[in-house]
């Protein structure tokens, strides 16, 4: 299927989603890649990862960019040639790109019981008290997404999800939360926006500022 959906997160921030139903061959025929991207694609062993990689490039083409506008720094963080900020994520059936005037991080995760089972390893488990099973599953997935997105922004070695990144209490119905990074003697705050699309949770995180 073609381009799936766009969502305006904030006035200067848009999320774009591609639902992956096409064959690998279809993507190869429709995506234009620069040489370094082609070599990276060839090194991927999983067809699922290859299709996710190509779906991101299809999204860029859909919104007026191309693979040639995308580059990565020495730490593997994506950037756009026009100076806008970009974050990328893909999980099974979806690839997602968010573009903004602000520094940000994006994560998309499929709702899986495994995330809830390992929740005590990465979050403050008391934040799940009093919730139904479905709510616990969603909330633990949101928290994981917040931590992934913050890590993408900071991109520093040594950051631990349970030891350095925390979430303030929040309600799922608000679709907003605050994450806190305590690392190297600093405390930083991040505003998270999240929602559910089909069986997936997406989380978009910004460095805190007056909104």
Pick the CATH number of 107-207 from 3.10.180.10, 3.90.470.20, 3.40.50.2020, 1.10.443.10: 3.90.470.20
Q: Domain 3-102 sits in which CATH superfamily?
A: 4'-phosphopantetheinyl transferase domain (3.90.470.20)
How far, in Å, CA of 155 to CA of 134, rounded?
Answer: 31
Domain boundaries, the chain: 3-102, 107-207
pLDDT in tens, 113-162: 999 999 999 999 999 999 999 999 999 999 999 999 999 999 888 999 99
Cα distances (Å, whole numbers) of residue 105 to 150, 152, 201, 204, 206: 6, 6, 14, 6, 7
Q: Do the beta carbons of residue 179 and residue 187 sit within 8 Å?
A: no
Q: Residue 108: beta bridge partners?
A: 202
The pTM of the full predicted model, rounded to 2 decimals, is: 0.94
34-69 per-position pLDDT tens digit? 999 999 999 999 999 999 999 999 999 999 999 999
Q: Do domains 3-102 and 107-207 have the same CATH topology?
A: yes
Question: DSSP per residue over 54-105, as a string?
Answer: HHHHHHHHHTT--GGGEEE-TTS-EEETTS-EEEEEEETTEEEEEEESS-EE
């Amino acid at each position: 299927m073609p381009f799936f959906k766009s969502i305006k997160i904030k006035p200067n921030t848009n999320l774009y989603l591609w639902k992956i139903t096409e064959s690998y061959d279809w993507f190869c025929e429709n995506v234009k890649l620069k040489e370094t991207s082609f070599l990276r694609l060839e090194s991927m062993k999983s067809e699922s990862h290859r299709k996710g990689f190509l779906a991101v490039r299809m999204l860029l083409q859909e919104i007026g960019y191309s693979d040639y506008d995308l580059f990565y720094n020495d730490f593997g963080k994506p950037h756009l040639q026009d100076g806008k900020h970009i974050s990328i994520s893909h999980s099974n059936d979806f690839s997602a790109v968010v573009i903004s005037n602000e520094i940000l991080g994006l994560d998309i995760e499929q709702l899986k019981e495994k995330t809830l089972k390992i929740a005590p390893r990465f979050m403050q488990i008391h934040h799940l008290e009093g919730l139904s099973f479905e709510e616990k599953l969603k909330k633990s997935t949101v928290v994981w997404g917040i931590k992934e997105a913050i890590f993408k922004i900071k991109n520093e070695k040594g950051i631990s999800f349970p030891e350095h990144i925390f979430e303030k209490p929040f309600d799922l119905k608000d679709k907003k939360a605050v994450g806190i990074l305590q690392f190297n003697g600093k405390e930083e705050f991040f505003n998270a926006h999240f929602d559910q699309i089909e069986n997936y949770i997406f989380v978009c995180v910004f460095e805190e500022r007056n909104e």
